Amino acid sequence: MLQRMQDRGDNITIRLNIQTQNLTEVTSRNTVAEVQGSEQPEKVVIVSGHLDSWDVGVGAMDDGGGVFISWYALVVLRTLGLKPKRTVRAVLWTNEENGMAGVKSYNEVHQDDLDDFIFIMESDYGTFTPLGLEFVAGAKGTCILTEIMKLLEPINATQAVKSTSVGSDIALWTGIIPTGSLLNDNDAYFWYHHTKADTMDVMDTDALDKATALWASVAYILADLKDDFPGDFSDSDSGFYSVPNVLFIILLSLVGFVLR
């Protein structure tokens, strides 16, 4: 309506009566569940969403959808009797909407075992029809994720899109731990986001099932890789100039020099 008024050349004045206030803080908690790894249970792949929501609507899309697919990724693994080599952990963050105290606290508590976090996923931009995975990883990781996403061809969600930052909670691990976010057909996300329209009827059961399938598959494969998912963010995948190779080249030239 405001757009139409402006288009007509109307001079618009808006008065906002805002009565927000900060109340005393109270304790809330992250909710954590996991399927323990069979060989290296201390190593973890995280699937996540946030449990709190804005104070209008019911938070079905933001972020009930992310919570649902993360929780159900574990249910799917349990139901199918799949136990990957490493642990798959669902973390439902608290307080994303107002300061991200949940993820900050989790990060502090786990400072000594951050090396064991192999890959961290969060869905917080809608759970419409899934298209693939958006991620922050190095060149080697990008190769692996591109191959993994090809397996999602049956649900037409094969896109593997490299990004510089994903997620909301998990953005604090950008460049420290590889991270991923659900890529979905979310053009309509901001129709509902933080409005009274964010209710259960915006959730599409077929899209949710497909998003759950993607979330469970990607988490399982990452947790079951033979070698750990590469944690380096280097953009060169040849490894040609890595230290051992450089030493090898120097040695070769020395041998050549001696033989001459």
For Zn ion, which residue of 35, 44, 48, 62 counts as binding (CB under 5 A)?
62
222 forms beta bridges with none
User: Angle at which helices 65-80 and 205-224 pack, to 10 degrees?
Assistant: 60
- What are the residue numbers of the active site? 96
Residue type present at position 80: L
Q: At closest approach, how far in Å is the CB of 98 from Zn ion?
A: 11
Residue 52 binds Zn ion (CB under 5 A): no
Cα three-residue angle 146-150-155, rounded to 5 degrees:
130
Q: At closest approach, how far in Å is the CB of 169 from Zn ion?
A: 8
Residue 198 binds Zn ion (CB under 5 A): no
Residue type present at position 258: V
Contact string 149-188 vs Zn ion (x = CB under 5 A): ----------------------------------------
Q: What is the CA radius of gyration of the chain?
A: 22
How distant, in Å, are the alpha carbons of 2, 20, 133 from that of 14?
10, 18, 40
In the complex with Zn ion, the residue whose CB is nearer, 124 or 134, is: 124
The answer, yes or no, to whether the previous bond of 185 is cis (omega within 30 of 0) is no
Contact window for Zn ion (CB under 5 A) among 22-30, 123-131, 172-180, 213-221? 123-131
Residue 124 binds Zn ion (CB under 5 A): yes
Q: At closest approach, how far in Å is the CB of 170 from Zn ion?
A: 12
Q: At closest approach, how far in Å is the CB of 50 from Zn ion?
A: 6
Cα 79 to Cα 48: distance, rounded to the nearest angstrom: 19
Q: Which residues bind Zn ion (CB under 5 A)?
A: 62-63, 124
